[in-house]
Amino acid sequence: MGNVPSAVKHCLSYQQLLREHLWTGDSVTGALDPAQETYQLLGLPEYVKIVEVGPRDGLQNEKVIVPTDIKIEFINQLSQTGLSVIEVTSFVSSRWVPQVSKRLYGMGCYEISLGDTTGVGTPGSMKRMLENVMKEIPPSALAVHCHDTYGQALANILMALQMGINVVDSAVSGLGGCPYAKGASGNVATEDLLYMLNGLGLNTGVDLYKVMEAGDFICKAVNKTTNSKVAQTSFSA
């Protein structure tokens, strides 16, 4: 099967996959390799900042009340993964969602996160939206927040990266939904996002395996199965 990763040929444990294909677990450093050549050819940013929204946006849709000590342990575990931004709470009313990007930017807002809350977006609609927004706001001040209701989240994120965005929201284990958007599924899983970014040779500074462990912890705490394809495959091996 040539150079096809052995994970395609066999169901491997994550540890074995990590040994055979280091790019799946760690940010790429050092000499230029095929993955780095890929991001250069595709015009992708060298570094992507992941904003972990699991503790706040991810848990807000759970039917069970998560004890404070569990939340704290969850956040502590995430803080050991290399994630530089972890959203733990919010005082924003769900009734008032900012709509006017240009006005906010003019008021001094340093970053505007564009959310596909219902997950209906496609790479085509993502491209059109960003083209319009970027007429007023530079890509350096934009972030994207994608839900995976129709399985389009990673494709939409890749399109955003190709257009110059380098800040992406995600939630460990694909936690989330939206209390005021009926039918919306969870956020794109941080594990799956990391797997894609690592495969493209993009630097995140985040340890995928530690993220998977944090996801396993919170899923057991709320008695649910992870929505991450990467975690499902790795922990079932």
CA distance 87 to 104: 20
Catalytic residue among 11, 109, 146, 178: 178
Residue among 53, 10, 18 nearest 218 (CA):
53
Cα–Cα distance between 117 and 122 in angstroms, integer?
13
pLDDT tens digits along 82-123: 999 999 876 544 344 444 566 666 777 788 899 998 899 999
Query: What confidence score (pLDDT) does residue 174 get?
Result: 94
The confidence score (pLDDT) of residue 58 equals: 84
Query: Structural domain boundaries of the chain?
Result: 6-87+101-236
Q: What burial letters (b/e) apply to 168-189, b meaning 16+ CB within 10 Å?
A: bbbbbbbbbbbeebeebbbbbb
Please indicate whether residue 178 is annotated as part of the active site: yes
Q: State the pTM of this model.
A: 0.78
Of the candidate CATH numbers 3.30.420.40, 3.20.20.70, 3.30.565.10, 3.40.50.740, the domain formed by 6-87+101-236 belongs to 3.20.20.70
The residue ranges of the chain whose pLDDT is under 50 are 1-25, 27-32, 92-99
Handedness of CA 132, 135, 139, 142 (dihedral sign): negative
Report DSSP letters for 191-216, one per residue.
HHHHHHHHHTT-B----HHHHHHHHH
C-alpha to C-alpha distance for 173 and 194, rounded to whole angstroms: 12
Q: Are 194 and 50 in contact (CB under 8 A)?
A: yes
